[in-house]
Chain A
Amino acid sequence: MDHGDYPLELPEGDRPMVRFMNVTKRYGSLTVLDNLCLDVAEGEMVTVIGPSGSGKTTVLRMLMTLETINGGIIYVDGKPLTHMERNGRLVPADERHLRKMRSSIGMCFQHFNLFPHMTALQNCMEGPVQVLGLPKAEARARSEELLEMVGMIEKKDQHPSRLSGGQQQRVAIARALAMRPKVMLFDEVTSALDPEVIGEVTNVIRRLVGEHNLTMLMVTHQMGFARDISDRVCFFYRGKIEEQGPPDQLFGNPQRERTQQFLSAVKEAD
């Protein structure tokens, strides 16, 4: 693999917020993602759908740098994420580079992963205080504002064990936003929730789409929600983008047979 073929920085005018260039991911002999190319523009909401095991989570985890990649390169805001420059050449990123770069990326997980030994407010303040070095008062103001936005300000002094799944997920969204990321990743954030509380989480994401210029990449099984809020939908099949397009086109008039099969199978299950 030669990193030398990739630009040290993306040129002005061709700088999507996120760019996957020929990204390959393998686990042993299993190729999970195969030469993936995917751009996400600034402020764009891209939804990833597809059958279980098709590599959706892996895409988000690579962008969060939770997984290393086996080939290709990822750029964030025009700068290499998975690589860094050394003597005019790109080499695989070290821990410090990753830490610096990933601070512009926030992620929400299927199982929330709130810190159980901290209150909702402390969960939100942890990153700003410990990582960004913000004064406590400023971090608190920022966190309270976000907890207000997700409708959790009344519960700010509760520990996660006292919160319902929907409430925990809303705190987790506030916690990620408190780092002021440029890109937000949502990995099936409603999959672990009881049906009656899914709405409170999707409504928060709806507000984010409406009111903020965040770039978002979301994996979901809720087709209706995806159709409502996405700028673009990507259908993944076996580690490749089988088909992508505006939601009305992909859901209303899918071109590929596998997309049609998947969508009708999902419709039947609903």
Chain B
Amino acid sequence: MSIWEFLQTYGARIIDGTLVTAAQFVLATLVAVTAALAAALGKLSRNLAVRGLAVTYIELFRGTSLLVQLYWIFFVLPLFGITLDKFTAGFLSVGLNIGAYGAEIVRGAIQAVPKGQWEAAYALSMSPARRMRRIILPQALVLMLPPWGNLLIELLKGTALVSLISVADLMFQAKQINASTFLSAQAFGTALVVYYLLARFLITPAMRRLERVMAQRLGRA
């Protein structure tokens, strides 16, 4: 079967899978960014309990494998009375896992904002929360965008694991097609190309654009 015939026959399923992957990506990104920001601020907090919680989250999710986390959230949490559907368990696991790495990026960027900026904001009598929100985070954001670009590509690749709990994403469709047709090269080849195209022609350009816009806001461009 030629690749064109293959696409004609299975294109619709590939597209369905790609849309699910895209949805997983977007939702996991939201989870990751939120978790990263909260954990970074937590780790910088003066409150010992808050700091402990943030460190525990970061260590736990960075120190163990994403697949194990996914299985935990999907198969083990129900034993503790928390049952999530597979779609939610999927993007939540991926988002929390990547968020733990993101937390270090956010923390590093916050600490890289020159000390003089804290002091100037302090000298204007700003409260700690306002200093962070109005002065430090906007500047840290510019610093953290390039590493986030890389991390989001990792996140996209990570979403492929949700197929293992039967979320019907791109990888899941490729596996199903392979199982019923044994067209391994076509099925997984197409998946490979689609993942690459998403990363190369959607995520990377979008992040570049965001970097440019943020640089302009700083009056740098």
Q: Which residues of A contact B (CB under 8 A)?
A: 64, 66, 95, 99-100, 102-103, 105-107, 109, 111, 113-117, 119, 126-127, 130-131, 158-162, 172, 175-176, 179
Are the CB atoms of B135 and A115 closer together than 8 Å?
yes
Query: CB-nearest residue of chain B relative to A175?
Result: B124
Known pairs A111-B116, A130-B130; A159 contacts B218 (CB<8 A): yes
In the complex, chain B residues 118-133 whose Cβ is within 8 Å of any chain A Cβ = 119-128, 130
Complex CA distance for A161 and B218, rounded to whole angstroms = 8
B119:A109 contact, CB within 8 angstroms: yes
**B side interface size, CB within 8 A:** 23
Which applies to chain A's interface (DSSP): helix, strand, loop or mixed? mixed
Which B residues contact A (CB, under 8 angstroms)? 114, 116-117, 119-128, 130, 134-135, 138-139, 142, 217-220
Residues of chain B within 8 A of A119, CB atoms compared: 219
A174 CB to nearest chain B CB (Å): 12
| Contact between A131 and B125, CB atoms less than 8 A apart | yes
Residues on B with C-beta less than 8 A from A107 are 123
Docked Cα-Cα span, A202 to B125, in Å, equals 25
CA gap between A159 and B142 in the complex, in Å = 15
Interface centre among B114, B120, B130 (most CB of A within 10 A): B120
A64-B123, A106-B123, A179-B124 known, 12 other contacts, Cβ within 8 Å: A111-B116, A113-B114, A113-B117, A113-B119, A115-B121, A115-B135, A116-B220, A117-B142, A127-B124, A159-B219, A159-B220, A176-B123
Given A109-B116, A113-B117, A130 contacting B218 (CB threshold 8 A): no
Tell me which residues across on chain B come within 8 A of A103, comparing CB atoms.
125
- In the assembly, what is the distance between CA of A161 and CA of B142, in Å? 15
User: Once the chains bind, are A130 and B119 in contact (CB under 8 Å)?
Assistant: no
